[in-house]
Structure 1
Amino acid sequence: MALLDDVKHELAAIETDLPAAKMAQASTMMRFAGGLRPVNNQAIIRAQFDSSEAAQWLQSTIGSYFQRESSIKQITRQAPNGKLIHYDLEVTRGATALALQAGLLDRRMKLVKGLPADIVSGNIAQIKAAWRGAFLARGAVSDPGKASYLEIVCPSHEAALALQGMARRLGVTAKARQLRSSERVTLKDPDSIERMLILMGAPRSAREWTGKRSDGEARGKANRLANFDDANMRRSAKAAAEAGEKVRQAFKILGDDIPDNLRAAGKLRLDHPDASLEELGRLADPPITKDAIAGRIRRLLQLADKTEKLHRS
């Protein structure tokens, strides 16, 4: 997951002076990482991140832009593959007011199911910031050399559709889908993934991802060619062994009644069981083509087969 960490590190380091973009990123991060919820008869905003830098960016923005206080707790739990560390950001005082400011609540005090309309229909800087916030909250990207994907787990179907529509405005095709009871937006085309990483603000990681992907594809092609060559060699060896056994049987059936040229071809096959037809042709005296050596061995086997049928009748 080193590449994913690099992407989130690069994205969390971005500072924008555009208030609308900053608000779009912060709002999307809160929406995708948790959101407004009741706890002990009190409304709080809770957002969970796997990146400490993402949590710190949001805490700083909530303080400087929204003028609200928040706290971050590090949560560690044991998992089958080792320890998992999350960073829980909470706003307990003024959470409802912050939700209104950030567009998590509408003017009727109802939770917004997707993303605020001001963000979805906002300018390109807001769209990029929203995608950046969504990725920092719930984004993942494939390791190079594996099946390519960039994916964001969404809090609702409406949020997934909003993210898909905003990707379209950026000229990138993304697909909203439901997988294992969760809503996701996924990019699978390598060029689209590279473009989205750059648009979100991670050009360095995009170059790293593209470079490693190209290396992986080259290694994969080399492995496929090597496997193809190995398979060919195995097939050739098997065919040569089978041909040698047939020649040996033909010699038993025919005895001394074999034309000299056919006997010589059969003997070459038995003496050089691993050699290709081309190599057998070069070993003949005088040398002949692989088609000629193949033809002589074929006529030897046909003669043996014909002789055996005559004896049976």
Structure 2
Amino acid sequence: MALLDDVKSELATIDSELPAAQKAQATAMIRFGGGLRLVQRQIIVQAQFDSLDAAKWLQTSIKTLYGHDATLTQVARQTPTGMVQRYLVHVERGGAALALQTGLLDRRKMLVKGLPSEIINGNIAQVKAACRGAFLAHGSLSDPGKASYLEIVCPCNEAALALVCMARRLGVTAKHRQVRSSERITLKDPDAIERMLLIIGATRTAHEWTGKRSDGEARGKANRLANFDDANMRRSAKAAAEAGDKVRKAFEILGDDIPENLRAAGQLRLDHADASLEELGRLADPPITKDAIAGRIRRLLQLADKTVKARGQQA
């Protein structure tokens, strides 16, 4: 349990995320930590955690992100192995408003059983944050030296499927299985576990977990994979930032004189700065291939260049 406490404490200290990512994490923590209850025709939001740091993060975020007061109480729970402490975050006044703000209630005020599609299909930062929130709420990690696993208990089948989909977007294959009456997402491959820990921000714990594994060859391979991923992420982030700057400049040059399909493609690039071309294609309405989205952005930039040259000749 000490390692699990460490990883959750580490994840709860991450505060450099954009508001959209913070909201995705808070929503996942509420969904995987408990969710919504109807008491005397009023919606109450509550979530229970085994980590005090995780509970404090959610309590603070509910106030700063959504403007609602949440209470934090410590509760004792009897288990087959003895008494354990749990931490309950509870929002009673404004629970319905918070549920709507987080997307756990849709516009028709119907319960969203899994996670909102805006998160599942959101940008990569939102997906990472949602996976982090699910792990903070109901995740577990094996101790080094034992059979490797990373597992998240899910409140329902829809939530499990959402988590599988988001893990796939992050390049991690997660197995969905049912154990007795609970739905679970499980990783057993050590490289996949380390990759997931790194992705959700548990860098220190990932290195500690890997470093304690007895197989030195596997440890070296995992470290090389982490370095390779970090380099790719830096290159991808730099390329996406440069593309965003070019699109922004093209919008300034062309003004309103832009074909709608090119404008839509450029706006997707600006709205999802860290998404890949394949992800941008999926976010398009209707969805298109990555080659198509790349072609539209390229034509937008070419149109801006032609416009600049034409204005220069006229001058």
- State the TM-score, normalized to the length of structure 2: 0.67
Q: Please name the residue that 1:28 is paired with.
A: 28
Give the corresponding residue for 1:128. 128
Equivalent residue letter for 1:60: T
Q: How does 1:96-115 map to 2 (within 5 A)?
A: 96-115=96-115
Q: Aligned partners of 1:140, 1:10: CA distance in 2, in Å?
A: 14
Secondary structure in 2 aligned to 1:213?
Answer: coil
1:39 Cα offset (Å): 2.2
Q: Which runs of 5+ in 1 are unaligned?
A: 219-313
Alignment of 1:180 with 2:188, yes or no, is: no
1:180 shift after superposition: 1.1
In 2: Cα distance, 1:73 partner to 1:216 partner: 44
Task: Give runs of aligned pairs for residues 286-297 of structure 1, distance below 5 A.
Answer: none
Q: How does 1:1-313 map to 2 (within 5 A)?
A: 1-214=1-214
Deviation per CA, 1:81-139, whole angstroms, max 9, x where unpaired?
33200001100000001000001101111100110000000111001100000000000
Are the aligned partners of 2:42 and 2:96 in contact in 1 as well (CA < 8 Å)?
Answer: no
Paired residue for 1:278? Answer: none
4+ runs of 1 displaced by more than 3 Å? 77-80, 215-218
- CA distance in 1 between counterparts of 2:80 and 2:172 reads 36
After TM superposition, the structure 1 stretch with the greater mean CA deviation from structure 2, 76-85 or 129-138, is: 76-85
Secondary structure of the structure 2 residue equivalent to 1:152: strand
Asked if the contact 1:144/1:216 (under 8 Å) is kept, the reply is no
The one-letter amino acid paired with 1:111 is L
**Unaligned residue ranges in structure 2 (runs of 5+):** 219-315
Residue of structure 1 in register with 2:270 after alignment: none
Deviations 1:167-199 (A, max 9, x none): 111011101111111111111100000000000
2:197 counterpart SS class: helix
Q: How many residues align?
A: 218
Percent of pairs identical after alignment? 67
Under a length normalisation based on structure 1, what TM-score does the superposition of the two structures give? Answer: 0.67
Change (3 A) 1:139 1:217: farther
Please report the RMSD computed on the Cα atoms of aligned residues, expressed in angstroms: 1.6
Distance 1:107 1:157, change over 3 A: same
Larger Rg: 1
1:54-102 per-residue CA deviation (whole Å, 9 max, x = no partner) reads 0000000000010000101101234443320000110000000100000
Q: How far does residue 215 in structure 1 lie from its aligned partner after superposition?
A: 6.4
- What SS does the corresponding residue of 2:151 show, helix, strand or coil? strand
Map Cα deviations across residues 205-258 of structure 1 (whole Å, 9 max, x no partner): 00111111226999xxxxxxxxxxxxxxxxxxxxxxxxxxxxxxxxxxxxxxxx
Q: 1:17 deviation in Å?
A: 4.0
Distance (Å, rounded) in 2 between the aligned partners of 1:174 and 1:78: 31
Distance 1:215 1:85 in 2: 35
